[in-house]
Amino acid sequence: MSTSPASEPTNPKANSEQYDRIPEAPSSTGEWGLKDFSRGTFWVLIIRGIVAVVLGLLLILAPSAVVVILGISIGAWLCGDGVLTILNSITSRKNGDSWGWELASGIAFALIGVVIVLLPSIFTVVTGSVILWMVAFGILTRGILGLFSQSLRRWSKVLAVVDIVFALALMFALLFNPTATVVALLLIVGVYAIVLGLIMVTTAFSVRSQAKQRGVQ
């Protein structure tokens, strides 16, 4: 006669060992998160912070060089993409596929890339000016709508006036001295990049210090 599972005696020690093997839940100190951080995220955050600081210093100390490098890089990319597009159009022609528009776009990309490589500063200034004009129009529109809105209170009206004044000042600067305005934008971005990079590095060392204090390796 077979014995049913219900009649088998239980082993308290075995049950205790089984429960001991169950992983403990993470404590309120976030030990698991600190362990994951110490394994790789630390160096990623450090590298990102250093790159941001270096980029910010370059934008502040040598904005003209950054403008030239940026323009040349974009121009070289357009040239390379244009040449590849032209080669692909030649292959399409041999295969009997449509190739005319592809060839035209490849030539256009290559020519624009050559112009940008030869005049990188002008390209960057023009591009930056276009972006700033768009920003100015957006801020001006928000200010005008906020000024005539019936649902906004006194301080919101003040902010709307500030938006309008700032937008008009930005337009005035872009109209009479676009180069200086773009350079000022680069300086602002440079300061932001430095601050962001320092915050990243400080955060990385702070969290790693907490991990070491709690014995997480």
Per-residue model confidence as pLDDT tens digits over 105-146 = 889 989 999 998 898 888 888 888 888 899 899 989 988 888
pLDDT value for 134:
92
What pLDDT sits at residue 29?
A: 40
Give tens-digit pLDDT for 146-181.
Answer: 877 766 666 677 788 888 899 999 899 888 888 888
Which residue blocks in 95-119 are alpha helix, DSSP H?
Answer: 100-118
State pLDDT tens for residues 29-73: 444 444 554 555 677 778 888 988 998 898 888 888 888 888 888
Helix, strand or coil, per DSSP, at residue 96: coil
pTM of the model: 0.61
Helices (H), the chain: 12-20, 31-36, 42-61, 63-94, 100-118, 120-148, 154-176, 178-213
Q: Which residues of 73-85 are buried (b: 16+ CB within 10 A; e: fewer)?
A: ebbeebbeebeeb
